[in-house]
Chains A and B, each alone.
Chain A
Amino acid sequence: MAQCPELCRIVLHFLALDTKNIRNSINSWLYPSLTFGTLLLLWWLASSRGYLSEQFFPTPGAFVTGFREEVASGSLLRDTLASLSRVAAGYALSVVVGVPLGMILGTVLGARLALLPLLNFLRSLSPLAWIPFAIFWIGIGHGAVIFLIVIAALPTIALSTMAAVAGIPKVYFRVAQDYDLTGVHRLTRVIFPAILPQLVTTLRVAMGLCWLVMVAGEMLAGNTGLGYLIHDANNGLRLDLIVVGMVVIGLLGMLCDRLLMFLTRLPGIRWGYDR
């Protein structure tokens, strides 16, 4: 019997935790749904009451019709897959090169002195300025868009990783010295885990950048993809299809961001968010 209050306390504790978790889960869906629902309602009201001319923006009905048309023809799936594959390839390449490059820049003074001005130069330059060269060197299509994505994302990832390495507290390196973590061990067991939380933020920002550049790249240097869909719809004055392209890009961007956010739940990364 003496254990009863303790048991009750534990049960209540777990119930309280569950309630909190359930509430958080509901809120994480409820609030965005309310925002999007309100926007949809305003769009529908503005269109149906004539405040928003169909010449300037499609009605929700036209959007649904255009969406069905694109799905039925299979072109939406084809364009989506083309864009996704380009973003995936460009992003992967940028991460694979950018993160180690940033770690080197953060730890090797000579590399930082040599490469930092170049990376800052590239970062300041709009990736769209490279479009003529992308077409000239690689030709219209897949390669040119991936090239533009890499040009945009790589300097950002490398510079952010470098900044994360520079921000590692000095005491971590002193501990590494005490416990003989040198060379590759220092890189993999101290520097890399120390920057992981910040790296996830960098990866999320870079992902957003990839989608931005992908659209512009496909508009001007692509022959398929969601950016090309928007460009083609613009030429055909199909405002409904432009919005279809925009909505799909936005949703995919959100989905990618949510997937990257899951990384923050990993124990080796969560410490950076829990503190």
Chain B
Amino acid sequence: MSTGSIRIKGLSHSYGATAVLKDIHLDVSPGEFVAIVGPSGSGKSTLLSLLSGYLKPTSGVLERTGTTRTVHQADGLYPWLTVEGNLALGLPKLDASARQRAVTDMVGRIGLAGFEKAFPHALSGGMRQRVEIGRALCGGTDVLMLDEPFSALDYLTRLKMRSELCRLLEDQPRTVILVTHDIEEATQLADRVLVLSERPASIVYELKIDVPRPRDVTAPGVVDATKAVLKAMGYKP
């Protein structure tokens, strides 16, 4: 089980005079899967950048424990490295044979055996994202940040990737923060869904989903959760 946790108290962030996030409070326990959704431009990615340590908050307290790694929306792999090379980036300092074993193990876990020597541009979008997830999981990462990781993929590949993510997390449990605009993705994967308001964003709704993973996207618990989140975001059919 992951030991990574996050604690935010009264966090606010601005770009110059533009306030993006306002008074965010959040506690993420070790091993918890939290999804953050919100309207386009509400500051979801800014919040993830703050949580990942790419940005420093304008005010408030942000405490993280454990190592944090992010799976990016697209093109987060280094194109000059092969699948093996990218995966090896995530590993701590090991001797060559242990490193190779760890890489081979991860290649198998992400279902890319035979593609070890392939460069990212030779892989499909789904395969690239699998490598990114594998790289982020390598080497005992505590907190996994997912920045709309499947948004560039087609619907069926997205569904498949969600299942694969669940399988990987079952093998190697981690604390996960998922930022997405796909509400169905959030309710299918997360233990808890947070809804951000318009800018300057704050958390306006929180929903716990007590349905065991892997979840069917059409399961009543998931559908009900999706409806509840949509309602909280002001959607009226």
Contacts and interface: CB of A to CB of B under 8 A. Distances in A.
Interface of A: 169, 171-172, 174-175, 177-179, 181, 190, 193-194, 196, 267-272, 274-275
Contact of B72 (A174, A190, A272): A174
Nearest to A194: B80
Given A171-B72, A271-B119, A179 B89 contact: yes
Contacts of A181: 89
Interface in B116-154: 119-122, 136
Is the contact region of chain A dominated by helix, strand, or loop, or is it mixed? helix
B119 A178 contact: no
Contacts of A271: 79-80, 119-121
B57 interface: no
Nearest to B117: A267
A203 to B, nearest CB: 17
A177 B54 contact: yes
Classify chain B's interface size: 20 to 34
Contacts of A175: 70, 72, 76, 78, 89
Contact of B70 (A174, A270, A274): A174
A179 B69 contact: yes
A270 B53 CA distance: 33
B80 A268 contact: yes
Given A193-B80, A194-B80, A178 B75 contact: no
Q: Is the interface of B mostly helix, strand, loop or mixed?
A: loop
B53 A177 contact: yes
25 contacts: A171-B75, A171-B76, A174-B54, A174-B72, A175-B70, A175-B72, A175-B76, A177-B53, A178-B68, A178-B69, A178-B70, A190-B78, A193-B78, A193-B80, A193-B81, A194-B78, A194-B80, A267-B119, A269-B80, A270-B119, A271-B80, A271-B120, A274-B119, A274-B122, A275-B121
Interface in B73-91: 75-76, 78-81, 89-90
B202 interface: no
Nearest to A179: B89
Q: Which 4 A-B pairs have the closest CB atoms?
A: A193-B80, A271-B79, A178-B69, A275-B121
Contacts of B136: 178
A272 B121 CA distance: 9
B2 interface: no
A22 B200 CA distance: 61
B5 interface: no
A214 B79 CA distance: 37
B123 to A, nearest CB: 12
B12 interface: no
Contact of A178 (B52, B120, B122): B52
Nearest to A274: B121
A61 B119 CA distance: 53
Nearest to B132: A175
A175 B80 CA distance: 14
Nearest to A267: B119
Nearest to A269: B80
Interface string B202-236: 00000000000000000000000000000000000
A193 B82 CA distance: 13
Choose among A174, A178, A269 the residue with the greatest number of B CB atoms under 10 Å from its CB. A178
Given A171-B75, A171-B76, A190-B78, A179 B90 contact: yes
B145 to A, nearest CB: 9
A196 B79 CA distance: 11
Contacts of A171: 72, 75-76
B54 A169 contact: no
A170 B65 CA distance: 25
Given A177-B53, A274-B121, 20 more contacts: A169-B75, A172-B78, A174-B70, A174-B76, A175-B70, A175-B72, A175-B78, A178-B70, A178-B136, A179-B89, A193-B80, A194-B80, A196-B80, A267-B119, A268-B80, A269-B80, A271-B79, A271-B80, A271-B119, A271-B121
Contacts of B121: 271, 274-275
A270 B68 CA distance: 31
B177 to A, nearest CB: 14
